[in-house]
Chains A and B, each alone.
Chain A
Amino acid sequence: MRGVPWLCGALAVIPVFVHAETRPKYAGTVEATLLGAPALDPLAARTHADATAVALVFDTLYRIGPDGIAVPHLAVGEPVLDEKGTTVRIAIRKGVRFHDGTALEPRDVAASLERVRAKEKWLLAPVTAVGVDGDAITLSLRAPVADLTELLALPQTAVTKSGKAPGAKPIGSGPYAVDSIDPTLHRMQLRAFEDHFAGRPYVDLMLRWYDTPDGEVRKFETGAAQISARGVTAFPGAQPTYRAERLHVPAWVLEFVGFGQGHAAVTGDRAFRRALDLAIARGGLATINSGEDVVPVKTPLPGAPALPAPALAGELDAARAEVAKVPALAPDRIGAVKLEILVEDTRPDDRELAERVARALDQLGIATTIAAVPAADLRDRVAKGKADLWIGQLAEPFGFADAWWGAAFAVGGDDWPAAQLASGSLDPAAAAKAFADREPIVPLVFRGLELWHRSDVRGLSYDGFGRPCYADMFYFGVPVRTKP
């Protein structure tokens, strides 16, 4: 079914580029960018890079399209509810295979969802049990759930073999199989999966992530990479070597400050969190970009109006008043406190965000250090509580408010949404109030997404997360130079 738009698209663009491109190659490798090092365990997916990589290697029951509507993917169709609306039956597509050739069975789906229920409580909070019924799975619900298909489209619900956490070389059923992962060289080689139930992707993929902003741009400028998240904007006034097109993505990712268990007496104190929230001069955060939209925020919900230029003096005074309430930051003890802010070393902009946070804490008299660490180390230290503060990223479907609230609380280690979602959905006002009271994280900015791609790369589209759908992309392999 997906092959039709490919073909149509290809036929449509051939006349346009006929002077430079003959016909698309049903092969080849396209090098593209991830916005940071990805986690390849669906359950650990938080960032845009995580979500993108998981979508390429694994499949979910449903997918959210660019219009925000969930459509069946591994599921044969929409969920079938019983009369009470508390039991759902979802038929699983037949003939789906994992990358190792084994068949994907409903029990794999059920086991994967059970793993989500056990580890990510808010996500399937309404579900009380997951069962297998022939070619289908059944979900027992506490109450009818309006957004069930959207929940089952989230990357955490992606199906793994036997519902187990993937190993060093993940095996999923998605359009791409992992050939190799090299964390040192920041690259992952993906091979188009011949037996993907939706058809073989057009090209193989080399995904890279970078520890400096210009590293990615240099690749793109020299023609080594065909797709870039930063394009040519890092070189003001420069002319790109090859003709490129910019695609605006109608999606957002949230950058926030997370709190760990190191110096828990400080970072666990809500007065400290409020003080930090007040002290961060968000107006300046908008300048941290590579041309994409950046909106400073105080809530983890995209689409909120941009914050006005802050009355900093007043906010700083309020922040200092809050700090004074923290026993661990009493005047005779504050000098001994030095907080570490962890940032992922392959998300350069996070470093600048961390500097803003450090500046805010400096205004409050709290010393900090910034440490850039690999993504895996950051995840590990946060999970084990061995972090003070960290800069995190969340990527959820743009229009799915429950996912944003749930993920925002969850990433702050707060189970508050689980009880609310168990009844089917969240009350946005209650969630906002709880978030303001509990401060599980301090939201910083929502940043929009853009992709620059060379003109000989075609068919690039996005899903409801703003994730590039590389499986639908095709490639002529004949770039058009802009310079003689």
Chain B
Amino acid sequence: MGAELGNYKTCVSARSTDKELLKYAQDGGIVSQLFAFALEEGIIDGAIVAANKEFAAKYPSKVMADNSNFDMIEPWRSIPAIVNTKAELLAAAGTKYNISPNMAMIKEATRSFGLDKIGIVGTPCQMQAVRKGQLYPVGLRDVGDKIALAVGIFCMENFPYQSIIQLVEDHAAMKLESVKKMEIGKGKFWVYGKRGQVVQLPLKVTHKYEQPGCKVCLDYVANLADISTGSVGSPDGWSTVMVRSKIGDSVWAKAMAAGVFETQPIEKVKPGLELVTKLANEKITKNQATLAARATFGVGKGLRNPYL
């Protein structure tokens, strides 16, 4: 096991056994199923997830307050939200491919939402924020020990919302409100329309729209999550799951015992961990080069390195 995949106790290919849930899920429904199970079992009493316009219209008191009017929220813009029920959870399911600042709600979750056991899903950088918040809780009073389950998602890079407009409306020539699903896989950015049309963009096109802050990130598989998951490495409709911490181990064992997931050994599936390792190394190598280039960016002057 190389450092690029972080520490993990077990790794499998998995999907939810709940057929209804899978209809809403991006791949194997791992995040939705984990939170649904944890809510039911009382492991968490709420979760911070990435929701959207439709969710905000239905559950206005559950989404993060910002300066925008709900009528102004654009289709596919992600908004952090707190979910307490499976119905709310499913209403927020699916990958949005633009930034959802879930950590922004971590304190409010324990305050006006009154959560004592928080679930949070996020990208690797957000998992880093969770752990920094526990070890260096500069402004997060009484929050750290209330984080009961942190689920990380594999992430190569993320996009600002405006980049999604560029990609979908300009490059793919589709209206955002008519998009059913977006996906990155098999080297392409896929946009699925509600009427069945499919547009694929080569990733070469998407690179210039990536969030700059992602280019110094050295974590592909959410090393600091309790459980991390992503489609890479597993067959279509399945997800690769890495169980990392003691908390993750305990929750995963309970979920398996309850039969909410079916699994296959990761060694038996194609393309398997080999692809995950390859992509992790690609990301880390590329971004280490970025960090090195930043150090000598100007003439005798460099850009900041947050890791030093």
| A and B bind | no
**B binding-site residues for A, Cβ under 8 Å:** none
**A binding-site residues for B, Cβ under 8 Å:** none
